[in-house]
């Protein structure tokens, strides 16, 4: 009879150890999940802010390259390498605009607000997804360039050819090939 009591007491201790281990495991699991769910949006916003700042640098370099090709005269050509991590770049020959759009929840620009940074216009509009569509715009008409292009580029690396086709109505025609 004593041996049965010892076995039952030992089993109770074993059950307590198992229950304690399972509870500790679930507490750790819930803590990790809460940290992940809370931390990932912050990481995504930081990542989007870094991507947007990087694209400002790229768009400014693209603008300077277009100006250089425009100044060098007819036949001048440059290859510009553009890396788009997230978002899209549009070349609109009708309005002579080049713009980058990033749909984000990061606080990179205010909605319905425009800021001029050198040759770039930075503006934001309301996103249908609850954030902001941040834009970086190069207005080629400001430096008398007639942009000959209609393209939309998404994520990836792109070799963009910029070719000076000469003057038309005192504006330099720059063809963009992607």
Q: Look up tokens 């996103």; give the residue.
A: 127
Q: What torsion do the CA atoms of 30, 36, 37, 40 make, to the nearest 10 degrees?
A: 180
Task: Specify the 3-state DSSP secondary structure of 7.
Answer: helix
Average pLDDT over the chain, rounded to an integer = 89
For the segment 131-156, what is each residue's pLDDT rounded down to a tens digit? 899 999 999 989 899 999 999 999 99
pLDDT-derived band at 89 (thresholds 50, 70, 90) equals very high
Q: For the residues 108-115, what does the mean pLDDT come to? A: 90
pTM for this structure? 0.79
Query: What does the alpha-carbon distance between residue 110 and residue 89 come to, in Å, rounded to a whole number?
Result: 20
Residue 68 scores a pLDDT above 70: yes
| Per-residue confidence (pLDDT) for residue 72, from 0 to 100 | 94
Task: Specify the 3-state DSSP secondary structure of 97.
Answer: strand
Using alpha carbons only, what angle is made at residue 99 by residues 116 and 120, rounded to the nearest 5 degrees?
20
Closest CA to 96 of 58, 51, 142, 135: 142
The encoded tokens of residue 158 equal 């792109």
Query: What does the alpha-carbon distance between residue 60 and residue 161 come to, in Å, rounded to a whole number?
Result: 16
Residue 4 scores a pLDDT above 80: no
Q: For the chain, what is the largest distance between any 2 Cα atoms, rounded to a whole number of angstroms? A: 110
């Amino acid at each position: 009879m004593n041996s049965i009591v010892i076995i039952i007491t030992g089993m109770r201790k074993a059950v307590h150890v198992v229950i304690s281990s399972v509870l500790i495991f679930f507490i750790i699991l819930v803590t990790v999940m809460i940290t992940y769910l809370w931390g990932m949006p912050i990481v995504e916003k930081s990542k989007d802010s870094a991507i947007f700042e990087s694209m400002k640098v790229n768009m400014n370099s693209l603008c300077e390259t277009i100006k250089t090709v425009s100044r060098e005269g007819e036949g001048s050509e440059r290859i510009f390498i553009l890396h788009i991590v997230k978002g899209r770049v549009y070349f609109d020959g009708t309005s002579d605009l080049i713009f980058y759009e990033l749909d984000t929840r990061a606080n990179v620009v205010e909605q319905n607000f425009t800021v001029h940074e050198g040759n770039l216009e930075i503006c934001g509009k309301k996103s249908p997804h609850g954030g902001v569509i941040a834009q970086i715009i190069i207005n080629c008409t400001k430096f008398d360039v007639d942009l000959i292009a209609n393209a939309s580029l998404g994520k990836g690396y792109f070799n963009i050819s910029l070719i000076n086709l000469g003057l038309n109505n005192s504006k330099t025609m720059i063809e963009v090939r992607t």
